[in-house]
Chains A and B, each alone.
Chain A
Amino acid sequence: MKSKLLITFPNTTGDKPIVYNLIKNYDLKINIIKASFDFNFRGSLFVEVDGSSENIARGLEYVEQEGVLADFINSTITVDRAVCVECGLCTSACQSQALSLDQEQSLVFQNSKCIGCNLCIKVCPSRAISNGVVSHES
Protein backbone atom coordinates (compact mmCIF):
# COMPACT_ATOMS: atom_id res chain seq x y z
CA MET A 1 0.00 0.00 0.00
CA LYS A 2 0.97 3.62 -0.58
CA SER A 3 0.62 6.25 2.12
CA LYS A 4 1.58 9.86 2.45
CA LEU A 5 3.39 10.87 5.60
CA LEU A 6 4.53 14.12 7.07
CA ILE A 7 7.60 13.32 9.18
CA THR A 8 8.64 16.07 11.58
CA PHE A 9 12.18 15.97 13.01
CA PRO A 10 13.14 17.70 16.26
CA ASN A 11 16.70 19.05 16.47
CA THR A 12 17.95 16.01 18.39
CA THR A 13 17.88 13.50 15.55
CA GLY A 14 20.25 15.12 13.07
CA ASP A 15 22.95 12.49 13.52
CA LYS A 16 20.68 9.50 12.86
CA PRO A 17 20.07 8.02 9.37
CA ILE A 18 16.35 7.61 9.96
CA VAL A 19 15.19 7.47 6.36
CA TYR A 20 17.97 5.03 5.52
CA ASN A 21 16.83 2.76 8.34
CA LEU A 22 13.22 2.96 7.16
CA ILE A 23 14.31 1.82 3.72
CA LYS A 24 16.82 -0.83 4.80
CA ASN A 25 15.19 -2.38 7.85
CA TYR A 26 11.51 -2.10 6.90
CA ASP A 27 11.73 -2.51 3.12
CA LEU A 28 9.87 0.74 2.44
CA LYS A 29 10.09 2.61 -0.85
CA ILE A 30 10.29 6.26 0.09
CA ASN A 31 9.61 9.04 -2.39
CA ILE A 32 10.49 12.43 -0.92
CA ILE A 33 7.95 14.96 -2.22
CA LYS A 34 9.12 17.90 -0.17
CA ALA A 35 11.91 18.46 2.33
CA SER A 36 12.49 21.45 4.55
CA PHE A 37 15.24 21.71 7.18
CA ASP A 38 17.00 24.48 9.04
CA PHE A 39 20.65 24.60 10.11
CA ASN A 40 19.83 22.88 13.40
CA PHE A 41 18.54 19.81 11.50
CA ARG A 42 15.02 20.69 12.63
CA GLY A 43 12.45 20.32 9.89
CA SER A 44 10.09 18.04 8.01
CA LEU A 45 9.88 15.56 5.20
CA PHE A 46 6.77 15.02 3.17
CA VAL A 47 7.02 11.54 1.70
CA GLU A 48 5.09 8.92 -0.16
CA VAL A 49 5.76 5.52 1.39
CA ASP A 50 5.20 2.27 -0.48
CA GLY A 51 5.34 -1.05 1.39
CA SER A 52 3.25 -3.65 3.18
CA SER A 53 0.93 -2.24 5.82
CA GLU A 54 2.75 -4.29 8.44
CA ASN A 55 6.12 -2.82 7.49
CA ILE A 56 4.70 0.71 7.41
CA ALA A 57 3.30 0.20 10.92
CA ARG A 58 6.62 -1.18 12.21
CA GLY A 59 8.52 1.64 10.52
CA LEU A 60 6.29 4.19 12.22
CA GLU A 61 6.89 2.52 15.56
CA TYR A 62 10.62 2.84 14.92
CA VAL A 63 10.57 6.55 14.04
CA GLU A 64 8.47 7.34 17.07
CA GLN A 65 10.98 5.57 19.32
CA GLU A 66 13.57 7.92 17.84
CA GLY A 67 11.48 10.91 18.93
CA VAL A 68 10.30 11.75 15.42
CA LEU A 69 6.65 12.58 14.67
CA ALA A 70 4.92 10.96 11.69
CA ASP A 71 1.45 11.95 10.55
CA PHE A 72 -0.60 10.20 7.89
CA ILE A 73 -2.11 12.63 5.43
CA ASN A 74 -5.21 10.83 4.33
CA SER A 75 -6.87 13.01 1.76
CA THR A 76 -6.32 16.28 0.10
CA ILE A 77 -8.29 18.58 -2.15
CA THR A 78 -11.30 18.10 -4.41
CA VAL A 79 -11.79 20.02 -7.65
CA ASP A 80 -15.47 20.53 -8.52
CA ARG A 81 -15.34 19.97 -12.27
CA ALA A 82 -18.73 21.62 -12.86
CA VAL A 83 -17.45 24.87 -11.38
CA CYS A 84 -13.84 24.79 -12.63
CA VAL A 85 -13.20 26.75 -15.86
CA GLU A 86 -9.72 25.26 -16.27
CA CYS A 87 -7.95 28.60 -16.29
CA GLY A 88 -4.97 27.07 -14.51
CA LEU A 89 -4.39 29.84 -11.98
CA CYS A 90 -4.34 27.25 -9.17
CA THR A 91 -1.14 25.84 -10.64
CA SER A 92 0.61 29.06 -9.60
CA ALA A 93 -0.01 28.22 -5.94
CA CYS A 94 0.81 24.52 -6.14
CA GLN A 95 4.36 23.89 -4.96
CA SER A 96 4.31 20.15 -5.45
CA GLN A 97 3.13 20.07 -9.12
CA ALA A 98 -0.02 18.19 -8.08
CA LEU A 99 -2.09 20.65 -10.11
CA SER A 100 -0.99 21.20 -13.70
CA LEU A 101 -2.31 21.93 -17.19
CA ASP A 102 -1.77 19.18 -19.75
CA GLN A 103 -1.10 19.58 -23.48
CA GLU A 104 -4.80 20.10 -24.14
CA GLN A 105 -4.90 22.80 -21.46
CA SER A 106 -7.07 20.60 -19.25
CA LEU A 107 -6.50 20.81 -15.53
CA VAL A 108 -4.93 17.65 -14.11
CA PHE A 109 -4.89 16.89 -10.38
CA GLN A 110 -2.54 14.17 -9.14
CA ASN A 111 -3.60 13.27 -5.64
CA SER A 112 -0.35 11.41 -4.97
CA LYS A 113 1.66 14.62 -5.31
CA CYS A 114 -0.62 16.82 -3.21
CA ILE A 115 0.90 17.85 0.09
CA GLY A 116 -2.35 19.25 1.46
CA CYS A 117 -1.08 22.81 1.85
CA ASN A 118 -4.49 24.12 0.65
CA LEU A 119 -2.99 27.24 -0.91
CA CYS A 120 -4.86 26.55 -4.14
CA ILE A 121 -8.24 26.84 -2.41
CA LYS A 122 -7.91 30.58 -1.89
CA VAL A 123 -6.19 31.16 -5.21
CA CYS A 124 -8.93 29.55 -7.34
CA PRO A 125 -11.06 32.43 -8.74
CA SER A 126 -13.97 30.06 -9.46
CA ARG A 127 -13.95 28.73 -5.87
CA ALA A 128 -13.96 25.25 -7.37
CA ILE A 129 -11.47 23.70 -4.92
CA SER A 130 -12.29 22.48 -1.43
CA ASN A 131 -10.32 20.47 1.06
CA GLY A 132 -12.09 17.12 1.18
CA VAL A 133 -11.61 15.55 4.57
CA VAL A 134 -8.09 16.25 5.64
CA SER A 135 -7.39 14.19 8.70
CA HIS A 136 -4.15 13.72 10.56
CA GLU A 137 -3.56 10.72 12.76
CA SER A 138 -0.40 9.62 14.45
Chain B
Amino acid sequence: MEKRTYEAINEKIRTGEVVVVSAEEIVDMVKAKGIDEVFEQVDVVTTATFGPMCSSGAFLNFGHSDPPIRMEKITLNNVPVSGGLAAVDTFIGATEESITEGYEYGGAHVIYDLLRGKEVELHATGKGTDCYPNQEIRRKLRLEDLNEAYLYNPRNCYQNYNAAINTSNEHKFTYMGMLKKNRGNVNYATTGTLSPLLNDPYYRTIGMGTRIWFAGTQGYVAWEGTQFNSATHRDENGIPLGGGATLALVGNLKEMDPEYIRPAVFEGYGTSFSVGVGIPIPVLDKELLKQLAVSNDELFQNVVDYSVPRRSKPVVARVSYSELRSGSVEIDGKKIKTAPTSSLKKAREIAEKLKQAIKDGEFYLQEPIKIFTHNSSTKGMRE
Protein backbone atom coordinates (compact mmCIF):
# COMPACT_ATOMS: atom_id res chain seq x y z
CA MET B 1 0.00 0.00 0.00
CA GLU B 2 1.35 3.43 -0.94
CA LYS B 3 -1.51 5.69 -0.02
CA ARG B 4 -4.51 5.74 2.28
CA THR B 5 -7.66 7.78 1.58
CA TYR B 6 -10.11 9.55 3.87
CA GLU B 7 -12.87 7.35 2.44
CA ALA B 8 -10.99 4.17 3.35
CA ILE B 9 -10.29 5.42 6.87
CA ASN B 10 -13.91 6.47 7.44
CA GLU B 11 -15.08 3.08 6.18
CA LYS B 12 -12.80 1.44 8.77
CA ILE B 13 -14.22 3.73 11.46
CA ARG B 14 -17.70 2.59 10.41
CA THR B 15 -16.78 -1.10 10.62
CA GLY B 16 -14.78 -0.66 13.83
CA GLU B 17 -11.49 -1.82 12.27
CA VAL B 18 -9.70 1.51 12.41
CA VAL B 19 -6.31 1.62 14.14
CA VAL B 20 -5.69 4.86 16.05
CA VAL B 21 -2.66 5.81 18.16
CA SER B 22 -1.59 9.05 19.78
CA ALA B 23 1.18 11.28 18.43
CA GLU B 24 3.30 10.24 21.41
CA GLU B 25 2.78 6.53 20.79
CA ILE B 26 3.56 6.78 17.07
CA VAL B 27 7.09 8.06 17.83
CA ASP B 28 8.03 4.90 19.74
CA MET B 29 6.24 2.62 17.28
CA VAL B 30 8.20 4.00 14.32
CA LYS B 31 11.45 3.78 16.29
CA ALA B 32 10.76 0.11 17.05
CA LYS B 33 9.27 -1.09 13.76
CA GLY B 34 10.21 1.43 11.07
CA ILE B 35 8.10 3.55 8.72
CA ASP B 36 7.04 0.80 6.30
CA GLU B 37 5.59 -1.58 8.88
CA VAL B 38 3.85 1.13 10.91
CA PHE B 39 2.37 2.67 7.77
CA GLU B 40 0.61 -0.61 7.01
CA GLN B 41 -0.83 -0.77 10.53
CA VAL B 42 -1.89 2.71 11.65
CA ASP B 43 -4.73 4.68 10.07
CA VAL B 44 -5.03 7.74 12.30
CA VAL B 45 -2.80 9.60 14.77
CA THR B 46 -4.36 11.85 17.41
CA THR B 47 -2.74 15.14 18.40
CA ALA B 48 -3.79 17.48 21.21
CA THR B 49 -3.06 20.62 23.11
CA PHE B 50 -4.31 22.41 26.21
CA GLY B 51 -2.76 25.81 26.84
CA PRO B 52 -3.68 29.45 27.34
CA MET B 53 -4.56 31.40 24.20
CA CYS B 54 -5.83 34.94 24.54
CA SER B 55 -7.42 35.12 21.10
CA SER B 56 -10.54 33.26 22.19
CA GLY B 57 -14.18 34.13 22.72
CA ALA B 58 -17.82 33.27 22.15
CA PHE B 59 -20.76 34.51 20.09
CA LEU B 60 -24.08 34.54 21.95
CA ASN B 61 -27.68 35.34 21.09
CA PHE B 62 -29.82 36.28 24.11
CA GLY B 63 -33.28 36.13 22.54
CA HIS B 64 -35.55 39.19 22.48
CA SER B 65 -37.16 40.71 25.57
CA ASP B 66 -40.67 42.12 25.50
CA PRO B 67 -40.71 45.00 24.72
CA PRO B 68 -37.51 44.45 22.76
CA ILE B 69 -34.22 46.30 23.18
CA ARG B 70 -31.41 47.07 20.77
CA MET B 71 -28.46 46.38 23.09
CA GLU B 72 -25.71 48.93 22.58
CA LYS B 73 -23.73 48.86 25.83
CA ILE B 74 -23.67 45.36 27.31
CA THR B 75 -22.06 43.71 30.33
CA LEU B 76 -22.19 40.11 31.57
CA ASN B 77 -21.33 39.81 35.26
CA ASN B 78 -19.83 43.29 34.92
CA VAL B 79 -17.56 42.26 32.05
CA PRO B 80 -18.10 44.46 28.96
CA VAL B 81 -19.00 42.51 25.83
CA SER B 82 -19.50 43.70 22.27
CA GLY B 83 -22.53 45.90 21.52
CA GLY B 84 -21.46 46.13 17.93
CA LEU B 85 -23.61 43.34 16.50
CA ALA B 86 -27.39 43.00 15.94
CA ALA B 87 -29.89 43.84 18.72
CA VAL B 88 -29.40 40.76 20.93
CA ASP B 89 -26.18 39.27 19.53
CA THR B 90 -22.82 39.70 21.21
CA PHE B 91 -19.23 38.52 21.18
CA ILE B 92 -17.45 37.97 24.50
CA GLY B 93 -13.71 38.34 24.24
CA ALA B 94 -11.87 36.07 26.66
CA THR B 95 -9.44 38.77 27.81
CA GLU B 96 -12.03 41.49 28.52
CA GLU B 97 -11.72 42.43 32.21
CA SER B 98 -14.43 42.96 34.80
CA ILE B 99 -15.20 46.61 35.57
CA THR B 100 -15.15 45.81 39.28
CA GLU B 101 -12.70 42.91 39.65
CA GLY B 102 -10.16 43.59 36.92
CA TYR B 103 -8.35 40.65 35.37
CA GLU B 104 -9.21 38.23 38.19
CA TYR B 105 -12.60 37.86 36.44
CA GLY B 106 -12.69 38.30 32.69
CA GLY B 107 -14.54 37.20 29.59
CA ALA B 108 -13.02 33.73 29.93
CA HIS B 109 -14.60 33.40 33.39
CA VAL B 110 -18.03 34.46 32.05
CA ILE B 111 -17.88 31.76 29.37
CA TYR B 112 -16.71 29.20 31.95
CA ASP B 113 -19.50 30.15 34.37
CA LEU B 114 -22.13 29.85 31.62
CA LEU B 115 -20.72 26.45 30.71
CA ARG B 116 -20.86 25.34 34.35
CA GLY B 117 -24.59 26.11 34.39
CA LYS B 118 -24.27 29.23 36.52
CA GLU B 119 -26.57 32.23 36.17
CA VAL B 120 -24.86 35.23 34.63
CA GLU B 121 -26.23 38.76 34.99
CA LEU B 122 -26.88 40.58 31.73
CA HIS B 123 -27.09 44.37 31.84
CA ALA B 124 -27.73 46.23 28.62
CA THR B 125 -28.75 49.71 27.56
CA GLY B 126 -29.79 51.16 24.22
CA LYS B 127 -31.02 54.54 22.99
CA GLY B 128 -34.47 53.17 22.20
CA THR B 129 -35.82 53.10 18.65
CA ASP B 130 -39.25 52.74 17.09
CA CYS B 131 -38.60 49.06 16.50
CA TYR B 132 -36.67 48.50 19.78
CA PRO B 133 -38.33 50.82 22.34
CA ASN B 134 -36.78 49.33 25.52
CA GLN B 135 -33.80 51.31 26.84
CA GLU B 136 -32.43 49.19 29.67
CA ILE B 137 -32.60 45.57 30.78
CA ARG B 138 -31.24 43.41 33.60
CA ARG B 139 -31.71 39.64 33.48
CA LYS B 140 -30.15 36.58 34.98
CA LEU B 141 -29.41 34.10 32.20
CA ARG B 142 -28.05 30.57 31.97
CA LEU B 143 -26.48 28.90 28.95
CA GLU B 144 -29.64 26.93 28.31
CA ASP B 145 -31.66 30.19 28.11
CA LEU B 146 -29.64 31.43 25.15
CA ASN B 147 -30.50 30.68 21.53
CA GLU B 148 -27.02 30.17 20.14
CA ALA B 149 -23.74 30.05 22.01
CA TYR B 150 -20.65 29.05 20.12
CA LEU B 151 -17.02 29.38 20.85
CA TYR B 152 -15.05 31.12 18.15
CA ASN B 153 -11.32 31.40 18.72
CA PRO B 154 -9.67 33.57 16.07
CA ARG B 155 -6.26 32.12 16.96
CA ASN B 156 -5.46 28.76 18.55
CA CYS B 157 -2.91 25.99 18.23
CA TYR B 158 0.22 27.98 17.42
CA GLN B 159 2.35 25.69 15.30
CA ASN B 160 5.44 26.44 17.37
CA TYR B 161 6.23 29.19 19.85
CA ASN B 162 8.97 30.79 21.91
CA ALA B 163 10.30 29.76 25.26
CA ALA B 164 10.64 32.85 27.46
CA ILE B 165 13.54 34.11 29.57
CA ASN B 166 14.36 37.42 31.29
CA THR B 167 17.95 38.69 31.23
CA SER B 168 17.21 41.97 33.04
CA ASN B 169 17.72 42.60 36.74
CA GLU B 170 14.04 42.83 37.65
CA HIS B 171 11.21 40.28 37.53
CA LYS B 172 8.90 40.48 34.50
CA PHE B 173 5.22 39.57 34.48
CA THR B 174 4.09 38.28 31.09
CA TYR B 175 1.59 36.04 29.32
CA MET B 176 4.34 33.42 29.66
CA GLY B 177 4.09 33.69 33.45
CA MET B 178 6.49 35.29 35.89
CA LEU B 179 9.99 35.50 34.47
CA LYS B 180 12.52 35.89 37.24
CA LYS B 181 15.34 38.36 36.90
CA ASN B 182 18.85 37.40 35.77
CA ARG B 183 17.74 34.38 33.72
CA GLY B 184 15.99 32.89 36.76
CA ASN B 185 13.68 30.59 34.78
CA VAL B 186 12.52 29.59 31.32
CA ASN B 187 8.80 29.12 30.60
CA TYR B 188 7.52 27.45 27.45
CA ALA B 189 4.19 26.74 25.76
CA THR B 190 3.71 23.63 23.63
CA THR B 191 2.81 20.00 24.03
CA GLY B 192 5.72 19.08 21.75
CA THR B 193 5.27 15.86 19.84
CA LEU B 194 1.53 15.88 20.72
CA SER B 195 1.03 19.39 19.32
CA PRO B 196 -1.28 19.39 16.25
CA LEU B 197 0.56 21.55 13.72
CA LEU B 198 4.00 20.19 14.60
CA ASN B 199 2.71 16.86 13.28
CA ASP B 200 1.43 18.25 9.98
CA PRO B 201 3.87 21.09 9.38
CA TYR B 202 2.82 21.68 5.75
CA TYR B 203 -0.95 21.65 6.47
CA ARG B 204 -1.75 18.69 4.27
CA THR B 205 -4.61 17.45 6.48
CA ILE B 206 -5.32 20.38 8.78
CA GLY B 207 -7.15 23.03 6.77
CA MET B 208 -10.47 24.81 6.60
CA GLY B 209 -13.26 22.41 7.45
CA THR B 210 -11.12 19.85 9.29
CA ARG B 211 -13.23 18.29 12.03
CA ILE B 212 -11.66 18.58 15.47
CA TRP B 213 -12.26 17.56 19.07
CA PHE B 214 -13.05 20.88 20.69
CA ALA B 215 -13.42 20.90 24.48
CA GLY B 216 -15.41 17.69 24.46
CA THR B 217 -17.54 18.26 21.36
CA GLN B 218 -16.94 18.15 17.62
CA GLY B 219 -15.88 21.48 16.19
CA TYR B 220 -14.20 22.66 13.02
CA VAL B 221 -11.24 24.59 11.75
CA ALA B 222 -13.07 27.68 10.50
CA TRP B 223 -10.27 29.58 8.83
CA GLU B 224 -6.59 30.35 8.97
CA GLY B 225 -5.89 31.70 12.44
CA THR B 226 -4.86 35.32 12.85
CA GLN B 227 -1.13 36.04 12.45
CA PHE B 228 -1.00 33.00 10.16
CA ASN B 229 2.66 32.87 9.20
CA SER B 230 3.15 29.90 6.88
CA ALA B 231 6.00 31.52 4.91
CA THR B 232 8.26 31.29 7.91
CA HIS B 233 11.79 29.90 8.22
CA ARG B 234 11.81 26.17 8.90
CA ASP B 235 14.30 23.59 10.13
CA GLU B 236 15.27 20.35 8.36
CA ASN B 237 12.09 18.65 9.62
CA GLY B 238 9.91 21.42 8.18
CA ILE B 239 9.14 22.79 11.64
CA PRO B 240 8.89 26.62 11.82
CA LEU B 241 11.65 28.17 13.91
CA GLY B 242 9.13 30.57 15.50
CA GLY B 243 5.32 30.82 15.60
CA GLY B 244 4.28 29.55 12.15
CA ALA B 245 0.67 28.75 11.37
CA THR B 246 -2.37 29.20 13.64
CA LEU B 247 -5.98 27.99 13.50
CA ALA B 248 -9.34 29.73 13.85
CA LEU B 249 -11.67 27.27 15.58
CA VAL B 250 -15.42 27.09 16.04
CA GLY B 251 -17.70 24.82 18.07
CA ASN B 252 -20.98 24.67 20.00
CA LEU B 253 -20.41 25.93 23.55
CA LYS B 254 -23.59 24.20 24.74
CA GLU B 255 -22.05 20.80 24.02
CA MET B 256 -18.69 21.46 25.64
CA ASP B 257 -17.21 19.92 28.79
CA PRO B 258 -16.06 22.41 31.46
CA GLU B 259 -13.22 20.02 32.28
CA TYR B 260 -11.55 21.12 29.03
CA ILE B 261 -12.22 24.86 29.17
CA ARG B 262 -10.48 26.92 31.81
CA PRO B 263 -9.96 30.61 32.43
CA ALA B 264 -6.37 31.58 33.14
CA VAL B 265 -5.04 34.62 34.98
CA PHE B 266 -1.51 35.85 34.45
CA GLU B 267 -0.30 38.09 37.24
CA GLY B 268 0.55 41.57 36.06
CA TYR B 269 -0.78 40.75 32.60
CA GLY B 270 -4.44 39.79 32.42
CA THR B 271 -7.06 37.15 31.71
CA SER B 272 -6.56 34.38 29.17
CA PHE B 273 -8.30 31.16 28.22
CA SER B 274 -7.26 27.53 27.85
CA VAL B 275 -9.41 25.42 25.56
CA GLY B 276 -8.65 21.78 24.87
CA VAL B 277 -8.17 20.87 21.22
CA GLY B 278 -7.62 17.46 19.65
CA ILE B 279 -6.96 17.01 15.94
CA PRO B 280 -6.83 13.64 14.18
CA ILE B 281 -4.29 13.24 11.43
CA PRO B 282 -4.96 10.54 8.81
CA VAL B 283 -1.83 8.58 7.91
CA LEU B 284 -2.25 9.25 4.17
CA ASP B 285 1.25 8.28 3.09
CA LYS B 286 4.75 7.55 4.37
CA GLU B 287 5.84 11.15 3.98
CA LEU B 288 3.18 12.23 6.46
CA LEU B 289 4.08 9.36 8.80
CA LYS B 290 7.69 10.60 8.90
CA GLN B 291 6.41 13.96 10.14
CA LEU B 292 4.22 12.25 12.75
CA ALA B 293 7.24 10.29 13.99
CA VAL B 294 9.34 13.38 14.77
CA SER B 295 10.29 13.09 18.46
CA ASN B 296 10.72 15.65 21.23
CA ASP B 297 14.50 15.72 20.88
CA GLU B 298 14.04 16.81 17.24
CA LEU B 299 11.58 19.63 18.06
CA PHE B 300 13.24 22.93 18.93
CA GLN B 301 12.15 26.25 20.33
CA ASN B 302 13.95 29.58 20.48
CA VAL B 303 14.49 30.94 23.97
CA VAL B 304 13.55 34.60 23.63
CA ASP B 305 14.45 37.46 25.97
CA TYR B 306 11.15 38.97 27.17
CA SER B 307 12.91 41.77 29.04
CA VAL B 308 13.39 43.59 25.72
CA PRO B 309 10.25 45.74 25.34
CA ARG B 310 10.23 45.64 21.56
CA ARG B 311 8.26 43.75 18.93
CA SER B 312 11.32 41.84 17.89
CA LYS B 313 13.06 40.24 20.86
CA PRO B 314 16.53 38.70 20.80
CA VAL B 315 16.96 34.91 20.72
CA VAL B 316 19.17 33.81 23.61
CA ALA B 317 19.40 30.10 22.80
CA ARG B 318 17.77 27.27 20.90
CA VAL B 319 16.69 24.23 22.93
CA SER B 320 14.87 20.98 22.25
CA TYR B 321 11.46 20.18 23.61
CA SER B 322 12.87 17.18 25.51
CA GLU B 323 15.33 19.50 27.26
CA LEU B 324 12.49 21.88 28.17
CA ARG B 325 10.37 18.99 29.50
CA SER B 326 13.28 17.64 31.57
CA GLY B 327 12.83 20.48 34.07
CA SER B 328 15.98 22.44 33.29
CA VAL B 329 18.03 23.70 30.37
CA GLU B 330 21.63 24.83 30.26
CA ILE B 331 22.21 28.23 28.70
CA ASP B 332 25.71 29.74 28.55
CA GLY B 333 26.88 27.39 31.31
CA LYS B 334 23.99 28.17 33.66
CA LYS B 335 21.44 25.50 34.60
CA ILE B 336 18.02 27.17 34.40
CA LYS B 337 14.73 25.75 35.64
CA THR B 338 11.97 25.28 33.04
CA ALA B 339 8.19 25.22 33.46
CA PRO B 340 5.30 24.82 31.00
CA THR B 341 2.22 27.01 30.58
CA SER B 342 0.32 24.25 28.76
CA SER B 343 -0.86 21.09 30.47
CA LEU B 344 0.65 17.97 28.91
CA LYS B 345 -1.49 15.90 31.28
CA LYS B 346 -4.72 17.38 29.87
CA ALA B 347 -3.41 17.12 26.31
CA ARG B 348 -2.74 13.42 26.83
CA GLU B 349 -6.29 12.95 28.14
CA ILE B 350 -7.62 14.71 25.04
CA ALA B 351 -5.53 12.59 22.65
CA GLU B 352 -6.95 9.49 24.41
CA LYS B 353 -10.54 10.75 24.29
CA LEU B 354 -10.29 11.52 20.60
CA LYS B 355 -8.73 8.12 19.96
CA GLN B 356 -11.61 6.43 21.78
CA ALA B 357 -14.25 8.49 19.94
CA ILE B 358 -12.76 7.43 16.57
CA LYS B 359 -12.54 3.77 17.65
CA ASP B 360 -16.12 3.89 18.91
CA GLY B 361 -17.35 5.19 15.55
CA GLU B 362 -18.45 8.52 16.99
CA PHE B 363 -15.89 10.68 15.21
CA TYR B 364 -15.30 10.60 11.44
CA LEU B 365 -12.47 12.36 9.64
CA GLN B 366 -13.30 15.35 7.47
CA GLU B 367 -10.96 16.25 4.61
CA PRO B 368 -10.22 19.99 4.47
CA ILE B 369 -12.45 21.79 2.01
CA LYS B 370 -9.70 24.33 1.40
CA ILE B 371 -5.97 23.91 1.97
CA PHE B 372 -4.14 26.73 3.75
CA THR B 373 -1.88 29.08 1.81
CA HIS B 374 1.85 28.43 2.10
CA ASN B 375 3.05 31.95 1.38
CA SER B 376 1.33 33.97 4.09
CA SER B 377 3.54 36.10 6.30
CA THR B 378 2.68 38.25 9.31
CA LYS B 379 3.30 41.98 9.12
CA GLY B 380 3.99 44.40 11.91
CA MET B 381 1.81 47.49 12.23
CA ARG B 382 2.31 50.20 9.61
CA GLU B 383 4.38 53.07 11.03
Q: Which A positions have Cβ atoms within 8 angstroms of B?
A: 85-93, 100-101, 104-106, 119, 122-123, 125-127
Contact = CB atoms under 8 A, between A and B. Distances in A.
Contact of B337 (A92, A125, A126): A92
Given A93-B178, A125-B272, A127-B265, A86 B346 contact: yes
Contact of B341 (A101, A106, A119, A125): A125
B262 A126 contact: yes
Contact of A89 (B104, B180, B262, B341): B341
Contact of B50 (A85, A89, A91, A100): A85
B339 to A, nearest CB: 3
A91 B341 CA distance: 10
23 contacts: A85-B274, A85-B345, A86-B343, A86-B345, A86-B346, A87-B340, A87-B346, A88-B340, A88-B344, A89-B341, A90-B339, A91-B327, A92-B177, A92-B178, A92-B180, A92-B339, A101-B327, A122-B267, A125-B264, A125-B272, A126-B263, A126-B265, A127-B104
Contacts of B183: none
A101 B338 CA distance: 11
Interface string B192-205: 00000000000000
Q: Is the interface of A mostly helix, strand, loop or mixed?
A: loop
Contact of B339 (A85, A88, A106, A126): A88
A91 B343 contact: no
B197 to A, nearest CB: 20
A89 B104 CA distance: 17
Contacts of A106: 345
B187 A89 contact: yes
A126 to B, nearest CB: 6
A117 to B, nearest CB: 13
A92 B343 contact: no
Interface string B170-195: 00000001101000010100000000
Given A87-B346, A88-B339, 18 more contacts: A85-B50, A85-B274, A85-B346, A87-B343, A88-B340, A88-B343, A88-B344, A89-B341, A91-B327, A91-B339, A92-B178, A93-B178, A100-B327, A105-B343, A122-B178, A123-B177, A125-B264, A127-B265
Interface residues of B, number: 29
B6 interface: no
Contacts of B339: 88-92
Query: 7 closest Cβ contacts across the A-B interface?
Result: A92-B339, A125-B264, A87-B343, A86-B345, A105-B345, A105-B344, A122-B267
B265 A89 contact: no
B118 to A, nearest CB: 15
Contacts of B340: 87-89, 101
Contacts of B338: 92
A88 B340 CA distance: 6
B173 to A, nearest CB: 9
B134 interface: no
B62 interface: no
A105 B344 CA distance: 7
A68 B66 CA distance: 73
A123 B187 CA distance: 12
Contacts of A93: 178
Contacts of B344: 88, 105
Given A125-B266, A126-B264, A89 B177 contact: yes
Name the residue in B274, B338, B344 with the highest tally of chain A Cβ atoms < 10 Å from its Cβ. Answer: B344
B207 interface: no
Nearest to B272: A125
Contacts of A90: 339
B82 interface: no
B51 interface: yes
Contact of A87 (B337, B342, B348): B342
B262 A85 contact: yes
Contacts of A85: 50, 262, 274, 343, 345-346
A56 B210 CA distance: 65
B267 A87 contact: no
A88 B52 CA distance: 13
Contacts of B343: 85-88, 105
Interface string B325-359: 00100000000011111111110100000000000
Interface string B43-56: 00000001110000
B175 to A, nearest CB: 10
Contacts of B346: 85-87
Nearest to A93: B178
